[in-house]
Structure 1
Amino acid sequence: MFELQHADNFHFKPVKTKNLRYIDQVQFMKIFHKKYCTESVCHKESKKVADYLIKILENAFEIVFGVKEKKKIMQIIVHKVTARDGLKDYYGYLLKRIKPKIIIYVVGTGFDQMILGETGRELGIPTVEIQHGHIGRGHLGYNFNCDVCLNSFPEYLFVTGQHEVEAIRPPIPKENIYITGSPELDFKVNYYKKKLQNRKKLKKIITFISGGEREIVDAAIEMYQKLDKDQYKIYLKLHPSEYTSWRKKYCKLENSGVCVVDGSLHDIYYYLAISDYLVGVASAVLFEATRFECDIMVLKTGRYFNAESLINTGNGVYISSTEEAIKRIHSMSSKRTTSDFYHRRNSCQLIYRAIDAILDKKGEEQKSENVYGTE
């Protein structure tokens, strides 16, 4: 298992496994005295790419870039061409030394991962991206309106549920997409089901999921003001990126009465498990919540259209105001039925089966190549 550096170039320690190694291209370059093409050397090639890209963007969006914008695009491409040469050398060295049977990674749209995927393909190693978060129809990195050959895209995708299979339009065959669920979600669902089994709640719990939308914060404050405090408790689960800045960003929140979750005392699945109602806009949490019994409401603001399938499949409802939400809360008499449409259960078994299927397929391809080569 290999880990890229986090922000500010550090790794979280200690770790729970002894099988972890760190990606460190700088150390590789120092040990082997590596030097790659300078920006001046690849300037001509990069200019062709930049001109081509600018033309496509200007035609597609009917815009005209200024001189500064064109220069910026050119600088980005020059930098990436140079960086690509170094990463291909580094990952090529690692893969030839390790000789893995399969490569599995997350965040396939990351620059490092794209170069790793491309290098793996060139060496004949199956490459797999395992889904993190929600993909759907609105993610540019997984939806293409025509057939393309993209070597940096993984050969296989492990997605959490049937929804992604039906929704996304990736540049790989549909048979290369495997439904594998989420091991962590499986564990958390079972864990909290047992832990909270005999616990009695004194109040109904409503949790708002923040994805940075001010409207969600305003709705949580407004609902707190309108509901009976003796019967309802309201949480606002902030996005981790807001933990240290929310008091400045949302001035009215601190003294509003809403219970603000701005730390890691409990994980997000705890709040999904204890909540009777969940309100959000387009967070991946809304889709994970379908494995729990909380009623899901999508506030029609911002990127709410990314959660449209929740409504189409009957796993959630749209609301346009806190009044609509309160009316629904007062009228609900039963819990929502859980669903595995977005997150299939028994994830570990599904992942093992998918890996075996890919390796078997690779083995058959190699046999065919050997037979063909002897004729």
Structure 2
Amino acid sequence: MSVNGDDLEPRTSSAVRAVLQLEDEAPDSLLEILPGATVPLWAQVRVQFIRALSAQQTGSVEVTSESTWTRWGEAKRVARGYLPSRWDAVRHAVPRDVCFYVPGVTLAAENGRARNWLVDDFAAATEDAVVVQTRPLPSPLGPPAFGSTLSMESSIARARWRARGTPLAPGVAASVTSLIADYAHRLGLSKDIFVALGQNVVRNERQRPFQLAEVQRMLDRMQPKIVVFDNGSYTYLGEWVGIMKDAGAYVAEPQHGWIGPSHAAYNFGRAFESPALRRALPDEVLTFGTYWSDSIRHPGRVTAIGKPHMERQAAAAPEARGNRILVVSSRADPEGTDAFVVDLRAALGEEWSIAFRPHPGERSETANRYPRLLADPRIEVDTEPDVYESLKRSSVVVGVASTVLFEADAFGCQVIARDSAFADTVIGDAFGERVGTASEAADRLTAGRSDARGATDPAIWAPGAVDAYRRWLAERLQERGSR
């Protein structure tokens, strides 16, 4: 499977195309920086604007949940933030050449510990590395598998406490309202749908200086030459990327999921050639393979490295598996997906078992989004933390648009792609003709298939990921110079 650069435009969604056009026009408002900030407001909100445009086209439904915040819970969080903790990334920072900065959600259970499948293989192959995650430690899966792992949780709690009652810089709230209205007008959207976004920006602006001060203290003590920053191209983290660059670090982002010409966070127009917006982006993106590298518009370097966890797990997958179907969610059209899974169960005989795997971002709301399939005792809800363990037990994977479809192919699963409003711009014809109904999927299954597993496509999954990473790291460290 390969991608030609000329193929990007046909596979670009109308939502991304609209934003790219705006960024190519580069009106002055895209470069407006709020008082006290260093990155334009557009960087903070562009992903949400693309999602709003996309929702009109695809029916994607954002996950909403009730707040669990309480005064007592916040008080306990703050108290823990000031108490000594072995996991405190700021207080326990020491000089390190390489820092992996991650949310801490890409985890798999391993011998009673939590293995970060995205970066732990790379960290273990690095002579002088630390993993810093924003989520608390230890995780529900246990303490981290990589010993030099710390958390920003304590520093975030301290920052939230210090921000209490702090007034905003003059003009911030008015500027946020005015600029968001301007962006909405230019993109043909109602400013009213971004009221909550504006409120969130204002809240973040109140806390941001205190959070960045904690990050700065960590960087002063750590002095990393390279920061591998997960989600770095989601430009609402631009201030964090910028402060790491200011500290002298080279910022690279590891690919963690599907990217392509319709992804909100990996396609940028000419406005991002400006230093102010370029500051918000990593210097380099490390992809799973050349297929992904050639599918994005990113102003930084793009290098194919591979995915070591997938490489190792796919090699260990058994040849023979039962008749287990794994249906993976993409968050789009939950009502339609709910009906599809129930109908598929009804269309197949009992020789087939069916498991539904919610998208990680909707697991807490599965019962609300998929009530029909949850009510069917013959349908399993797959909550295995590591999707690869699920793929090892599945012979068929059905989905709309997900990296899991590409991974399933590498695991030797039969892949059946469902049609959708955005399938053309995400997976195209990578898995053959897409099915529109559960009965069509059932017909595809009952038609049979060859059990022979094909070779993993090296364009999609670059082989020898750890060795490729070592070579990449040596080159970048040499460029940065010795400590």
Q: Determine if the TM-score, normalized by the shorter chain, exceeds 0.5.
A: yes
Structure exhibiting the larger radius of gyration computed from Cα positions: 1
Code of the residue aligned with 1:359 in structure 2: it is L
Partner residue in 1 for 2:226: 102
2:448 pairs with 1:343 = no
Structure 2 CA distance, aligned partners of 1:45 and 1:207?
Answer: 48
2:257 pairs with 1:136 = no
1:280–1:299 Cα contact (<8 Å) kept: yes
2:187 pairs with 1:60 = yes
2:356 pairs with 1:236 = yes
Structure 2 CA distance, aligned partners of 1:350 and 1:139?
Answer: 25
Q: How high is the sequence identity, in percent, across the aligned residues? A: 20
2:328 pairs with 1:209 = yes
- Which segments of 5 or more consecutive residues in structure 2 lack a partner in the other structure? 1-130
Partner residue in 2 for 1:319: 435
* Paired positions, count: 343
The verdict on how the C-alpha distance between 1:48 and 1:241 changes in structure 2, with shifts beyond 3 A counting, is: closer
Q: Deviations over 1:307-351 (max 9, x none)?
A: 324x2xx44431112232233223344246332333323211122
Partner residue in 1 for 2:72: none
The verdict on how the C-alpha distance between 1:46 and 1:317 changes in structure 2, with shifts beyond 3 A counting, is: same
Code of the residue aligned with 1:20 in structure 2: it is T
Shift of 1:95: 1.2
SS in 1 for 2:466: helix
Matches within 5 A, 1:77-96: 77-96=201-220
1:39–1:78 Cα contact (<8 Å) kept: no
Structure 2 CA distance, aligned partners of 1:74 and 1:217?
Answer: 33
The verdict on how the C-alpha distance between 1:160 and 1:91 changes in structure 2, with shifts beyond 3 A counting, is: same
Partner residue in 1 for 2:174: 47
2:396–2:415 Cα contact (<8 Å) kept: yes
The verdict on how the C-alpha distance between 1:102 and 1:215 changes in structure 2, with shifts beyond 3 A counting, is: same
Structure 2 CA distance, aligned partners of 1:107 and 1:292?
Answer: 26
Q: Deviations over 1:182-221 (max 9, x none)?
A: 12111211222xxx25xx55x5332211234333332232
Worse overlay, 206-215 or 10-19:
10-19
2:354–2:379 Cα contact (<8 Å) kept: yes
2:410 pairs with 1:291 = yes
2:250 pairs with 1:250 = no
Code of the residue aligned with 1:163 in structure 2: it is Y
2:149 aligned to which of 20, 45, 66? 20
User: What TM-score, normalized by structure 1, do the two folds share?
Assistant: 0.78
1:235–1:260 Cα contact (<8 Å) kept: yes
Code of the residue aligned with 1:211 in structure 2: it is S
Q: Deviations over 1:241-286 (max 9, x none)?
A: 655654554343246463313433x742133233332110122211
The verdict on how the C-alpha distance between 1:73 and 1:18 changes in structure 2, with shifts beyond 3 A counting, is: closer
SS in 2 for 1:285: helix
Q: Deviations over 1:229-251 (max 9, x none)?
A: 23x33332334565565455434
User: What TM-score, normalized by structure 2, do the two folds share?
Assistant: 0.62
1:221–1:258 Cα contact (<8 Å) kept: no
Partner residue in 2 for 1:220: 341
Q: Deviations over 1:54-76 (max 9, x none)?
A: 2132122154x35x966x66544
SS in 1 for 2:463: coil
Worse overlay, 99-108 or 142-151:
142-151
Worse overlay, 102-111 or 72-81:
72-81
1:278–1:295 Cα contact (<8 Å) kept: yes
RMSD value, Cα: 3.4
Worse overlay, 88-97 or 297-306:
297-306
- Which segments of 5 or more consecutive residues in structure 1 lack a partner in the other structure? 367-375
Code of the residue aligned with 2:406 in structure 1: it is F
